[in-house]
Amino acid sequence: MSDMSDWPVLTLAGGPVQVSDRTLRDQSRPVLYHNDPAFKALFASTCELLQRVYRTRYDVVIMQGEALLGLEAAAASLVSPGDKVLNLVSGVFGKGYGSFIEKYGGQTIELAVPYDDAIDPDAVRRVLDDQSDIKFLAVVHSETPSATVNPVRAIGEIARRRGVITIVDTVSGLGGEVLSPEAWGMDIAVAGPQKCLGGPPGLALLSVSPAAWDVMETRPQPLRGSYLSILDWKRSWIEQRTFPYTPSVSSIYALESVLSQVLEEGIERHAARHQTIAAACRAGVRALGLRLWAAREAIAAPCVTGVAMPEGIDDGALRGLMRERYGVMISGGYGDLAGKLFRLGHMGPAAHPTYLAAQLAILERALVDLGHPVELGAGVGAAMAALAGWGREA
């Protein structure tokens, strides 16, 4: 086993996040044969838990790979050559989705905003009204790299009214907001366990509407017999309670554990906890004279807080110092945003006043170490002031 002495004390990154002890213990249950009746029962129960966390009666599919597998699978399964797809771009992940659309022959109509902003539903409406042959709409709910959220509810309602099938990347959205695939018009939603749910990565968590199934099954040459096939899971697991291939047994254990923990806490409380901590984090950031990356508070994400890199501070130096000297791992910018912002993570068990205080305190300390003038304690104090109502409802 590798030496762990250089591991961070706290992982407060943009995901994967630090996982609760209980999750790690549950993940380490003995590995079962996937056709063992006990494993099948556990898999079935995990699917039910996932439906409850998604708050949906749609089918759910747990794909055995990172969330990105589910996102690509949605394009590969839905999009036929020539299909027009409205791709909403408010960040790196939204931009990237265009390449999946095109890989599978779709024609991308891009509606983009700067990467610190969010999509305006009215703009979506106008595009859909203009181009009535748009068949699909792809949108990122929570743009983790930008630490912003899009108004997927409003967007989904618009799409649904026009019969446009939606693909919603809610990888870091599920658990941070109270969703409703039916009400929000989400045809295929894709989430990951390693963000607000507070689990380890390795699975793609899909909710699939009947309309989406219909498209997949009735298109020319439905995608079957592939690791990218969502239909394979329908035919095997949903219809016959068999697996198309060996699922990731231990990852399913961990997923069952985190879903149970979310439901024990209550989905509403879980989401509210993330939102409250995110607001407190923003208060702390402002008190330090730092600038939020998000153009405005209303579109700041519940899962991470993006902070514009202060003038004269090097991204690698700041995060390196926090990590090496103080044991706190946070995330930087990603892709085009590298070096422009850093991100304070508050997902899963880390969405808590203790970890927020620790994170801000170390950020302050590291900024001072680098010669950036902040008042030690000011960010923590403002964040804690914003938490005056914490824990009072119980």
Q: Which of residues 95-134 bind a second copy (CB under 8 A)?
A: 99-100, 103
Part of the chain binding a second copy (CB under 8 A), chosen from 81-89, 133-141, 212-220, 243-251: 243-251
Note whether 26 binds a second copy by CB under 8 A.
yes
217 contacts: CB under 8 Å, gap ≥ 6 = 231
Sheet holding 204-208, edge to edge: 59-63, 204-208, 188-191, 165-169, 134-140, 84-89, 107-112
Asked if residues 369 and 361 have their Cβ atoms less than 8 Å apart, the reply is no
Q: Which is nearer to a second copy, 69 or 155 (CB)?
A: 69
Within 35-94, the residues that bind a second copy by CB under 8 A are: 35-38, 41-42, 45, 64-69, 72-73
CB of 7 to a second copy, least distance (A): 5
Q: How far is the CB of 55 from a second copy (least distance, A)?
A: 21
Nearer to a second copy, 121 or 348 (CB): 348
Q: Which residues contact 121 (CB under 8 A, 6 or more apart)?
A: 151, 154, 155, 158
Amino acid at 88: L
Residue 10 Cβ vs a second copy, minimum distance, rounded to whole Å: 6
Query: Segment 349-388, which members bind a second copy (CB under 8 A)?
Result: 349, 352-355, 357-359, 361-362, 364-365, 368-369, 375-382, 384-385, 387-388
Cα–Cα distance, 151 to 294 (Å, whole number) = 14
What residues between 171 and 200 interact with a second copy by CB under 8 A?
192, 194, 200
Output the smallest distance, CB 298 to a second copy, in A: 25
DSSP assignment of 175-243 equals: TTB---HHHHT-SEEEE-TTSTT---S--EEEEE-HHHHHHHHHSSS---SSTT-SHHHIIIIIHHS--
In sequence order, what are the residues at sequence separation of 6 or more whose Cβ sits closer than 8 angstroms to the Cβ of residue 311?
none
According to the binding rule CB under 8 A, does residue 205 interact with a second copy? no
- State both tokens at 213: 């199934």
Q: Residue 374: helix, strand or coil by DSSP?
A: coil
Among 80, 107, 180, 248, binds a second copy (CB under 8 A): 248
By the rule CB under 8 A, 10 interacts with a second copy: yes
Q: Are 26 and 164 in contact (CB under 8 A)?
A: no
Beta carbon nearer to a second copy, 118 or 301: 301
Determine the interface stretch with a second copy among 114-122, 149-157, 162-170, 246-254 (rule: CB under 8 A): 246-254
Among positions 112, 162, 211, 227, the unique one binding a second copy when judged by CB under 8 A:
227
**Can you tell me which of 126, 129, 246, 317 binds a second copy, judged by CB under 8 A?**
246
Residue 391 engages a second copy in binding (rule: CB under 8 A): yes
Selected binder of a second copy within 228, 231, 272, 318 (CB under 8 A)? 228
Measured from the CB atom, is 307 or 350 closer to a second copy? 350
Of residues 364, 313, 363, 304, the one with CA closest to residue 340: 313
Q: How far apart are CA 327 and CA 4, in angstroms?
A: 12
Quote the least distance from Cβ 213 to a second copy, whole Å.
21
Tokens of 161: 């009214």
Which residue's CB is nearer to a second copy, number 36 or number 217? 36
> At its nearest, how many Å lie between a second copy and the CB of residue 96?
9
Applying CB under 8 A, what is the total number of residues that bind a second copy?
A: 108
Q: Which of 251, 274, 292, 342 binds a second copy (CB under 8 A)?
A: 251
Measured CA to CA in angstroms, residue 133 lies from 5, 127, 137 at distances of: 58, 11, 11
Among 91, 151, 201, 306, binds a second copy (CB under 8 A): 201
What is the nearest approach in angstroms of a second copy to the Cβ of residue 245?
4
Using an 8 Å Cβ cutoff, are 390 and 276 in contact?
Answer: yes
Of 50 and 128, CB closest to a second copy: 50
Nearer to a second copy, 31 or 178 (CB): 31
Write out the binding residues for a second copy, residues 295-334 only, by CB under 8 A: 323-329, 331
- Structure tokens given for 108: 């991308």
- b/e per residue, 244-265, with b = 16+ CB within 10 A? beebbbbbbbbbbbbbbbbeee
SS3 45: helix
Tell the smallest beta-carbon distance from residue 301 to a second copy (Å).
17
